[in-house]
Chain A
Amino acid sequence: MNTKMIMKILVLCICNMCLFQKLHAQLSDSLPSVQLNEVTIVSKQSLGERMKKPLSNVDEYLNRLPNVQMIRRGAYAWEPFVNGLSMERSDITIDGMHIFGACTDKMDPVTSYVELMNLKKIRVSNGQMGSAYGPTLAGTMNLELQQPNFGEKKMKGISFAGYETNNRQKIVGSGIDYTSPKAAILANITFRNASDYHAGGGKQIAHSQFTKYNASIYGRFKWDDQHQLQFNWIYDHADHVGYPALPMDVKLARAMIFSAGYISYHPWKGIHQWQTKLYYNDVKHIMDDIDRSNLDMHMTMPGWTHTAGFISQIMHIEGVHHWNIQANGYFNQSLAEMIMYSDSSGGNNMFMLMWPGVNIYNMDVFVQDSLLLNKNWYISFSGGITAQHQQVYDSRGFSELRIFYPNAKKSQMRWLKRGNITFNDVHEDWQIALNAGYGERAPSISEAYGIYLFNSFDKYDYIGNPFLKNERSINLFLNAQYRTKRLSFEWQMGLQKIKNYIIGLMDTTLTPMSKYAAGVRVYHQLPHATIWNSSASANVYITDEWIWNLSLSFSRGTSKAIGNLPFQQPLSYTSGISFFKNGYQVDLTAIGANRLRYFNKQYGETPVPAYIILNLSGSKEFHLQQHRCVLKLGIENILDRRYTTFANWDRIPQMGRNIFFNLIYYYSD
């Protein structure tokens, strides 16, 4: 206990959670909003400069955001929870494009199909505030792609390499950036490979390895100042990804993401910008348990999604009004199968559809107006409506579904409405934003149509329910910032009241299918659920060399019917001190959390003790023949503590002591 106290005192410090957004009114964008959390990945050709470990994966970047928690089933493809709610409750897009994971067990969130080099930044907005691309309850996460820029003819490049001792992770990658006045191209590749990691104390976590390849190319062309064409292609491939918390691993997770767009500046009088994009993406995901021993039969679960869509957006400025009018639509097809290789029953394999083959036709319109009332006051209104048509297209799947729901219909139509109002009061050294929103969402494919989807956390098989009503949320978010030369402080608070909260409830009349399942849960709705989350962070610039940082966050969710909602973050903190001089940077950071007090046993949660770990890292920027290099070295979990968090599926322990190095080399002609 003493050591803990000493440590807490020792690390009464700060680190570099730089989530502050500089307020700059860009005409090309909608008006700035102070209520935005974002993490910058590549800016001005620099990769993750502010990160202690720039070559972390996208998940670790996201984990820095105070309103995002990453639920971990292993070392790879974490599930982002925005404002304490699961990923189907936020709208996660890549440059506004919808893409859907093909895993019935949420082992491939959208965020797992991109790499650092694909992205410029990730913006996460609360509630319906940034819901330009579709319906959402908790918030919007848009993964903004890194674009090449027009300019003087020039060729630039980046190469990087990293190594981590704990899981022998090797990271290598390279990118080139061609700039010219009329054409710009950005291309890059990244490779990662890791073995099993070791928890604190040295225990090897079996089945936690992964291998990932990613390549992307982005091209932009313009023939005059008014017209531009752009295209983008991302290929992301992961194989032999272990999931220690699940009974299965991933043999393949592959996404291909294409888009082609046209931008026109000032096409008509008063219209600032009009851009239209067509996109297509294709995801294939195969789970299997071939690497697991002691099984009397093996199985594989492949899944596919295909999504094609468009986005068209007009920005119009008129007096104090900043209009953003947007239409987007997509068609998505999802199917997942299970095949069990039986040797005890005459050699016939067992087969079923886990997702019965579902088509979704989605059309959405969104209108936003931001008004600049005076020098300090911005008000922003937005509203959107979505028409979503869902259809079970596979006759086998429909027949399966009808076993449970004899009256199920092949197709259904849903209307999803959303609206938001934001007040911003902005001053020289402080600003406040208040955001009130209303949103609805349709049940996800698993929630509406899933058949015997095993949840290894609560050990139940889940059956979808096509008769679920839309989930609805009323929410309020508050953000306050104070900034002086020596101090910056930010506080965020969110309150969400959800109606028809979708959750699985036990059905004793059904027998489980999965070997490990204790029973069957069918998706039903709770009348109400409430989520309250808050975060605060402070930076103190003690001197020009020393910065001290502290950030705190927690989330609390309840519902009368079941008590605590699962996966709520206990009070968690990060505190660090950073030192800068002559191109050197040294950071000492403490990361910890209180014990998980509010958990739900029925949904597989167990208590989590409090923990605190220490990280130390240093970096040096130098030049090699006029080319800039950044070298970062560090030790994570210095004391090799064995710990787990509320976000660890099945309470699989986190990584123990890990020494890493990241080397990034920038070059230009």
Chain B
Amino acid sequence: METIAFIRKHIYFLFLFTFVVLAGCNKQNNLSQSTQPQGIKVLTLSDNNYSIELYTANGKLQTGYNEITLWVKDKNGKVVIPDSITWNPMMHMMNMSHSCPASAISLQSSATGIYAGYIVFQMASDSMNYWQLAIVLKKQNMIDTLTGVVKVLPSPLQVVQTFRGADSNKYVVAYAGPANPKIGINTMSAVLYQMISMSDFIPVHHYKILIDPRMPDMGNHGSPNNTPFVEGTDGLYRGQLNLTMSGFWRINLQVLDSAGNILAGQPINEQNTSSSLYFEIQF
């Protein structure tokens, strides 16, 4: 009886275990290339051994949050799964350079060899300044670094903001979704990073983001029952965004630390029609 109870209790783990084992076996086999990364190819990085293809939903990289899928191919064009893969975007300006917030690159499916992650570009490329993306692969103790210049277009709307909080720390907040807002109730997500140094950004935990969506063209009409954003298990901050109509919305933000102190942003009232911290959406 006890055994049955044990199995019952842990059956999911058993399944997971089996899956992991099978997936591990699969690694040795040829990967199916029938499933492509979603979206449109935006960039290919290559060296003598590998090429890496990066995809985004619209085939562009823009300021703000960019969800990227990618895969790695060897010189025969076969999709491979390296032992480890990391990326490092760098902005090169005239006499300085800095990085930006980026997630780890995680394998979505070992069957297809497709990886996913996101990068938050705070600024766009221009004639003087450019973004360089370096991706480091490790396979069988061989390290390959593939680099390339990426073109980051300016987003037409404000979707990312860098600010100094009341605690004197520097932060980056970016709109992560929904990509296509709709009338009514939306689940909105954002990422929040602290800038430790020019090249070091770390996600912040247990903060809270208050939102107040408004329509500046409509006498700053707002919507009720929006919920503050709290951190999910995946590190994204999520909350309920209510949009009473389509059009142009400014989502005013206030960032609170884990103790509830307001670090940045102001509440909206008769006198103050906009927070210094906000996103814009248009649909």
CB within 8 Å of B: which residues of A?
Answer: 297, 338, 340, 342, 344-346, 348-353, 396, 398-400, 402-404, 406, 451-452, 509-513, 515
Contacts and interface: CB of A to CB of B under 8 A. Distances in A.
B148 interface: no
A340 B221 CA distance: 14
B182 A396 contact: yes
B246 interface: yes
A349 B248 CA distance: 9
A352 B183 contact: yes
A342 to B, nearest CB: 6
B259 to A, nearest CB: 27
B282 A513 contact: no
Interface string B182-212: 1111000000000000000000000000000
Contacts of A402: 184-185
B245 interface: yes
Given A346-B156, A351-B183, A352-B183, A400 B244 contact: yes
Nearest to B226: A403
Contacts of A340: 218, 247
Name the residue among B184, B223, B224 with the largest chain A CB count within 10 angstroms: B184
Given A400-B184, A513-B245, A515-B219, 5 more contacts: A342-B247, A348-B247, A349-B247, A350-B218, A451-B244
19 contacts: A338-B245, A346-B248, A346-B282, A348-B282, A350-B217, A353-B183, A396-B182, A398-B184, A399-B183, A399-B184, A399-B185, A400-B183, A400-B184, A402-B185, A403-B225, A404-B224, A404-B225, A451-B244, A511-B221
Contacts of B220: 511
Given A342-B217, A511-B222, A350 B245 contact: yes
Nearest to A403: B242
Contacts of B156: 346
A350 to B, nearest CB: 3
A348 B243 CA distance: 15
Contacts of A338: 245
B19 interface: no
Nearest to A344: B217
B283 interface: yes
B183 A509 contact: no
Nearest to B156: A346
Interface in B103-137: none
A352 B221 CA distance: 13
B219 to A, nearest CB: 6
B219 A512 contact: yes
A352 B244 contact: yes
Contacts of A348: 246-248, 282-283
B224 A509 contact: yes
Given A348-B282, A396-B184, A404-B224, A513 B217 contact: no
B244 to A, nearest CB: 6
Contact of B221 (A344, A353, A513): A513
A352 B244 CA distance: 7
A1 B42 CA distance: 86
A254 to B, nearest CB: 26
B123 to A, nearest CB: 21
Given A345-B247, A346-B248, A513-B245, A396 B224 contact: no
A352 B245 CA distance: 5
A396 B183 contact: yes
A287 B222 CA distance: 24
A403 B242 CA distance: 6
Nearest to B219: A515
B143 to A, nearest CB: 46
B180 to A, nearest CB: 13
A349 B246 contact: yes
A403 B282 CA distance: 19
A351 B249 CA distance: 13
Contacts of A350: 215, 217-218, 245-248
A451 B182 CA distance: 16
Interface string B269-283: 000000000000011
Nearest to A340: B247
Contact of A403 (B185, B217, B221, B246): B185
Interface string B19-47: 00000000000000000000000000000
B248 A342 contact: yes
Nearest to A345: B248
